[in-house]
Amino acid sequence: MIDLDIQVQSEPVTRRFRLRKEVSDEFDLYVKAAQEKTKGVDESLVLEAILRNHLKRDKGFRAWLKQHEKNQVR
């Protein structure tokens, strides 16, 4: 089963973007797997969980964010 923690959305915003067909097709399969694991989830919840998971694990982004936040305090 997939390793994805689905959380309830807070206040959602609408974003528009385009994906290559292969990525879109694979995302559809990922959504299907997530729905088998957690009933009632939709594409938005799955995408949010994927992004949260990736952003949490991306060490380069974490380092950049820490520096960015430090610079914002000044």
| Domain around 51 | 21-73
- The answer to whether residue 36 sits within a structural domain is yes
Look up the pTM and report it. 0.76
Q: Is the pLDDT of residue 69 over 60?
A: yes
- The answer to whether residue 2 sits within a structural domain is no
Distance CA 6, CA 23 (A): 20
Q: How many structural domains does the chain have?
A: 1
* Among 55, 54, 50, CA closest to 26: 50
| CA quadruple 62, 17, 15, 56: dihedral, nearest 10 | -20
- The answer to whether residue 45 sits within a structural domain is yes
- The answer to whether residue 13 sits within a structural domain is no
pLDDT tens, position by position, 2-53 = 677 776 667 888 999 999 999 999 999 999 999 999 988 999 999 999 999 9
